[in-house]
């Protein structure tokens, strides 16, 4: 398989380190707007990097992306950029006639008059609107194939297939006990994406109501995470799983709750109150005259790059899907989960736990696509495909998953 990887940040670099250990890959072109980042990702592989090479590429330039896909004879485009570039990369892959995989979906737009009650443009709506074109092209756009969304959706499909007869709720629950030495505020993932997820109206799905929204950080719930992480308060956050799972799985309710903590929530609220979460550019003085900048980009530039925090991080992160329903007429609750220890990922891969856990899953998906174990067309979420081969490969990659019975 020949892959164009667009984005050589923390997740993209972790993708190269994971993929370098697998035989399915023939060539991976590592592309980034900043050529030095792409070159650094390839150079870090050392002798294992003979199947990798770096190129400069602007993810917003659809024609340039299409041209590279054709020139490099690629089979698939793996998008490791932030969600702003989903649609140009998604459309470029279709134009070039290749498969497409991403870890975050096209952006939402809140409802203009009732943002905390009704959905406006939902996450992924733009991509699903092109589903027929992907079907006609006989190409697969596998969307939301990170850890959350991604592995959490695979867990949901496995639970529906193997563990439950009826499902009352699919609830993705994410928590961690990670700390970063020397920083009072140092998000372990892209702050641009974190702001987008946490300050947009969260979406909830109910079978008799459809999709609807609530206020940010609503419905707090203390969830006990495994492997020593312990109880963490989780709140509603906008996330793709809620938009993906109901398309393929039968559940009365679907939610996503994230363990943020009071201090993190307070800082996000302050950014919002100051207008520093905005993406529209404002004009500020510069040494050579006025400069137009996005407040959110300024916030991101002022914070440490999450990919560089691994040496200062301690603890574990857990992604998982809590399922409540019935089996053989009896009530059942389970939590399917994946825990990653930062000390292990740093020692084994030189990548911090959160970006490594995110990067692992699209690489597994690429292997399944290359082997034609996952063979489909159209715009699909992970829950549309057989879960067992994916879960088997998790163990083969040295990152097994767990299952906890709640009752």
> Using one digit for the tens of pLDDT, what is the confidence trace for 30-69?
999 999 999 999 999 999 999 999 999 999 999 999 999 9
> Using one digit for the tens of pLDDT, what is the confidence trace for 7-19?
999 999 999 999 9
What is the distance between the alpha carbons of residues 241 and 296, in angstroms, rounded to a whole number? 25
Helices of type H across 46-129: 62-71, 86-96, 125-128
Distances (CA, A) of 127 to 20, 100, 124, 380: 30, 11, 5, 10
Which residues of the chain fall short of a pLDDT of 50? none
Bridge partners of 283, per DSSP, are 292
What is the distance between the alpha carbons of residues 131 and 139, in angstroms, rounded to a whole number? 10
- Write down the pLDDT at residue 87: 98
- Write down the pLDDT at residue 193: 84
Of 253, 254, 258, residue with least CA distance to 236: 258
Q: Which residues contact 129 (CB under 8 A, 6 or more apart)?
A: none
- Write down the pLDDT at residue 103: 97
SS3 311: helix
What's the token pair of residue 320? 């998982």
What is the distance between the alpha carbons of residues 203 and 133, in angstroms, rounded to a whole number? 27
Cβ atoms 283, 295 nearer than 8 A: no
Q: How many CB atoms lie within 10 A of CB 168?
A: 17
Distances (CA, A) of 275 to 129, 236, 268, 399: 32, 22, 11, 40
What's the token pair of residue 198? 């946490």
Phi, psi of 240 (to 5 degrees): -65, -30
- Write down the pLDDT at residue 260: 86
What's the token pair of residue 158? 């496995």
Q: What is the pTM of this model?
A: 0.94
- Write down the pLDDT at residue 116: 96
- Write down the pLDDT at residue 264: 86
Half-sphere exposure of 78 (CA within 13 A, CB side): 34
Whole-number average pLDDT of the chain: 95
- Write down the pLDDT at residue 326: 98
- Write down the pLDDT at residue 265: 87
Burial class (CB in 10 A: 0-12, 13-18, 19+), 50: exposed
What is the distance between the alpha carbons of residues 105 and 141, in angstroms, rounded to a whole number? 11
Helix, strand, coil percentages, rounded to 5, for the chain: 40, 25, 35
- Write down the pLDDT at residue 195: 87
Helices of type H across 279-341: 295-302
Half-sphere exposure of 17 (CA within 13 A, CB side): 24
């Amino acid at each position: 398989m020949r892959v164009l990887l667009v984005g050589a940040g923390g997740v993209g670099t972790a993708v190269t380190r994971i993929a370098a250990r697998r035989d399915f890959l023939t060539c991976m072109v590592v592309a980034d707007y900043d050529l030095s980042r792409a070159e650094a990702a390839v150079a870090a592989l050392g002798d294992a990097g003979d199947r990798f090479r770096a190129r400069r590429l602007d993810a917003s330039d659809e024609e340039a992306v299409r041209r590279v896909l054709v020139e490099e004879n690629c089979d698939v485009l793996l998008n490791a950029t932030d969600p702003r570039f989903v649609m140009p990369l998604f459309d470029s892959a279709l134009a070039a006639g290749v498969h497409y995989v991403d870890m975050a979906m096209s952006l939402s737009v809140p409802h203009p008059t009732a943002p905390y009650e009704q959905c406006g443009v939902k996450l992924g709506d733009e991509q699903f609107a092109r589903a027929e074109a992907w079907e006609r092209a006989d190409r697969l756009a596998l969307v939301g194939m990170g850890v959350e969304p991604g592995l959490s959706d695979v867990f949901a499909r496995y639970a529906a297939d193997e563990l439950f007869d009826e499902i009352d709720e699919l609830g993705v629950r994410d928590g961690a006990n990670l700390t970063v030495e020397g920083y009072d505020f140092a998000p372990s993932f892209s702050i641009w994406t974190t702001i987008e997820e946490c300050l947009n109206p969260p979406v909830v799905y109910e079978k008799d109501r459809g999709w609807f929204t609530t206020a940010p950080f609503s419905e707090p719930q203390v969830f006990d995470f495994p492997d020593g992480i312990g109880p963490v308060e989780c709140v509603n956050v906008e996330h793709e799983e809620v938009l993906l799972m109901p398309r393929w799985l039968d559940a009365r309710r679907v939610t996503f709750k994230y363990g943020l903590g009071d201090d993190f929530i307070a800082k996000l609220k302050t950014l919002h109150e100051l207008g520093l979460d905005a993406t529209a550019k404002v004009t500020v003085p510069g040494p050579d005259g006025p400069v137009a900048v996005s407040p959110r980009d300024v916030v991101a530039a002022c914070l440490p790059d999450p990919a560089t925090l691994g040496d200062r991080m301690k603890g574990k992160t857990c992604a998982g899907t809590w399922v409540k329903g019935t089996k053989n007429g009896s009530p059942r609750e389970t939590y399917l989960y994946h825990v990653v220890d930062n000390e292990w990922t740093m020692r084994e891969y030189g990548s911090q736990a959160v970006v490594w856990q995110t990067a692992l899953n699209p690489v597994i998906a690429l292997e399944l696509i290359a082997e034609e174990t996952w063979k489909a067309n159209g715009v699909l979420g992970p829950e549309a495909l057989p879960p067992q081969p994916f879960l088997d490969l998790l163990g083969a990659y040295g990152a097994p998953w767990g299952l906890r019975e709640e009752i």
